Amino acid sequence: MDPDFGPAQSYLTECYFWNGMYDEAMGLNKKLGNEIGLARCYAKMGKMDEAKEMIKRLTPSHYINTRNIAAFYFMIGENDQGYYWLERGRNSHNP
């Protein structure tokens, strides 16, 4: 009913991502300002330098969801970093 309804667009980016439609996911993530989603797309497209650079810009921020950062690192196989971010989130009571 509303093509600009944010939660629906967020779910659509996930649908695009998990179906390998990275260009579509990137376009919608850019529109939504979802940098974690963009980093995930870059990683899946083999643009690891861009993905890691984007994540590094996010990590100093106080208002990040550490679970999403951890999931990114697990996705790219950097498990030590993933566990670090899970632990950091637990210590700061971040969901």
Domain that holds residue 80: 62-95
- Do 34 and 66 have their domain in common? no
- Do 52 and 69 have their domain in common? no
Residue 36: phi and psi, rounded to 5, are -65, -45
- Do 48 and 81 have their domain in common? no
| Whole-prediction pTM | 0.82
The pLDDT assigned to 81 comes to 96
Neighbours of 22 (CB within 10 A): 19
> Domains in the chain: how many in total?
2
Buried residues in 27-41 as b, exposed as e (16+ CB within 10 A): ebbeeeebbbbbbbb
Residue range 38-69, pLDDT digits in tens: 999 999 999 999 999 999 888 777 677 889 99
What burial class does residue 49 get, using C-beta atoms within 10 Å of its C-beta: 0-12 exposed, 13-18 middle, 19+ buried?
exposed
